[in-house]
Amino acid sequence: MSDKKKDEILYDHNHDGIDRRGFLKCMAWAGTGTFCVIKGGVLNSYGLSRIAEMDPADMKGELSFAQISDSHMGFNKPANTDVVGTLKAAVDKINALKMQPEFLLHTGDISHLSKPEEFDTVDQILKGATTKNVFYVPGEHDAIGDDGKQYLERYGKGTKGAGWYSFDKKGVHFVGLVNVMNLKAGGLGDLGKEQLEWMEEDLKRLTASTPVVVFAHIPLWSVYPEWGWGTDDSAQALGYLKRFGSVTVLNGHIHQTMQKVEGNVTFHTATSTAFPQPAPGKADSPGPMKVPAEQLRGLLGITDVNYVRGQHALAIVDSSLV
Amino acid sequence: MNGKLKRLRIGLGCAAVLVAGILAASCANGARQKTASGATGTQVKIDNFTFAPNALTIPVGTTVQWVNRDDIPHTVVSDDKSTIKSKALDTDDNFSYTFTKAGTYSYFCSIHPKMTGKVVVQ
């Protein structure tokens, strides 16, 4: 494997025949430099950063998009006193990609305290992106005090319910889900009956060979329920996705990169553009992780996703801000 | 996480345990105190994604004040989402509620619903 491809996480959904149990689990930790490689063509997961060194020919595909997450505009604590600067750096990083993404996905926690000026600032910064096409789903920080009313007014045009929707791009079906509303005491993320019914109906018309990308703020897999890193009723949603040959689930919320492959489903969480959070259970609480200033930007970043038609494979590349 | 950072975090963890110990001791001495207005008040600290003390027993008429000591915002919302409902409490913000009726009030942080607490009013 050449060095220049080491940032790539590629799962070939067409390949089969390997004992998946206990084997197709992979966690790629942002910034630690550790990575996991499973040979045999099934999953290649590499480390982070140095996206600029990659040969665009290796990344060429039918469709590419970039994911940003957890910009937490308004956060100003020691873990990062310049979330404006780091979000701008993320946009610069995206603009510098040799192959420009067709659109951006923001997987929530746009703001820190749901203040209008926080949303305004993010909107302003994202206007600096070469692509003007941004798709959002809300994080719990975007719905503080108003059950997501302001979020819907700003970003919910054409969406259903609390802001869920789907769209198609070059043969790939995208589903944006909302799992941060109506949270119950002691519970995890929640999709709710109405949204699940909509999702089942939305997917019905698709053939099983359609690549599906599902994105939501809180992970749709059980990352660490003790810290609320999971979604109570995600099993039902994942059940609707079982018949598809290629499913990619993109989440934010946990401010670190993590990847897992289960059957035909690749789960992936993105880093934050604002501040890192500790690895599951590695601290007293999931609060912002303070790291030496020179390490911060190595723990923040963006995710670039590239779809190659015919291979049913999505190459997911995480890139830090340095 | 590199070794140096890990050691630092372990150090911080020990400091947090120590602080928690001091808090527990002060609670044991009686967290209730007379406020300037003469009403009886009790404070709940929000720290490390927990409400401390987690369960309180107070007489009717007590005002409870929650103070957020975390670097991340929290809320104080009763399970029915209407009886008690604070705004987002950023670092060092506080919220007070006076319990005028006897009963058990379960509450949580609506941003981090794994955080729960209880007030028993007698």
CATH assignment of the domain containing A282: 3.60.21.10
Q: What's the pTM?
A: 0.80
DSSP per position, A47-106 = ----GGGS-HHHH--SEEEEEE----BT--STT-S-HHHHHHHHHHHHHT-SS--SEEEE
Local confidence band at A29 (pLDDT 50, 70, 90 cut-offs): very low
Contacts of B72 in chain A (CB under 8 A): 77, 287-288
Write down the pLDDT at residue A211. 87
Q: What is the pLDDT of residues B56-79, one digit of tens each?
A: 999 999 999 999 999 999 999 999
Mean pLDDT, residues A33-42? 26
Contacts of B75 in chain A (CB under 8 A): 144-145
Nearest to B113 among A141, A144, A184 (CB): A184
Counted across chains A and B, CB pairs separated by less than 8 A come out at 74
Supply the mean pLDDT for chain A.
82
Of the given ranges (A201-205, A293-297, B104-108), which has the lowest mean pLDDT? A293-297
Nearest to A228 among B71, B87, B113 (CB): B113
Chain B interface, best mutation among A114, A182, A257, A285, by max B CB count within 10 A: A285
More confident residue, A309 or B98: B98
Q: In the structure encoding, which two tokens stand for residue B6, read together?
A: 């890990």
Q: Going by DSSP bridges, is the β-strand pair A313-320/B63-68 parallel, antiparallel, or unpaired?
A: unpaired
| Residue A140 DSSP one-character state | G
Write down the pLDDT at residue A309. 62
Write down the pLDDT at residue A86. 94
Of A269, A285, A195, the closest CA to residue A230 belongs to A269
Interchain CB contact of B118 with A (< 8 Å): no
Q: Which residues, 6 or more positions from A51, have their beta carbon under 8 angstroms from its beta carbon?
A: A7, A93, A97, A304, A317, A319
Q: Where are the alpha helices (DSSP H) in chain A?
A: 56-59, 83-95, 116-126, 149-155, 193-204, 234-241, 293-296
Mean pLDDT, residues A108-131? 97
Write down the pLDDT at residue A58. 54
Cα(A161)–Cα(A178) distance, integer angstroms: 9
Local confidence band at A137 (pLDDT 50, 70, 90 cut-offs): very high
Mean pLDDT, residues A158-171? 95
Q: What is the pLDDT of residues A257-270, one digit of tens each?
A: 888 888 888 898 98
3-state class of A175 per DSSP?
strand
- Phi, psi at B13, each rounded to 5°: -60, -45
Using 50 as the pLDDT threshold, list the residues of chain B that sit under it.
Answer: 1-39
Q: How far is A187 from chain B (nearest CA, A)?
A: 6
Of the given ranges (A94-108, A279-293, B53-67), which has the lowest mean pLDDT? A94-108
Local confidence band at A54 (pLDDT 50, 70, 90 cut-offs): low
Nearest to B48 among A285, A291, A295 (CB): A285
Nearest to A113 among B49, B90, B114 (CB): B90
Write down the pLDDT at residue A320. 83
Of the given ranges (A161-170, A225-234, A269-278, B11-20), which has the lowest mean pLDDT? B11-20
Cα(A48)–Cα(A114) distance, integer angstroms: 31
Q: Is the pLDDT of residue A44 over 90?
A: no
Of the given ranges (A54-58, A112-116, A150-154, B64-68), which has the lowest mean pLDDT? A54-58
| Residue B77 DSSP one-character state | E
Of A167, A316, A319, A173, the closest CA to residue A250 belongs to A316
CB contact under 8 A, A285 and B13: no
More confident residue, A143 or A61: A143
Mean pLDDT, residues A32-53? 32
Cβ(A24)–Cβ(A265) below 8 Å = no
Write down the pLDDT at residue A260. 86
Distances (CA, A) of A119 to A79, A103, A154: 21, 19, 9
Give me the number of domains chain A comprises: 1
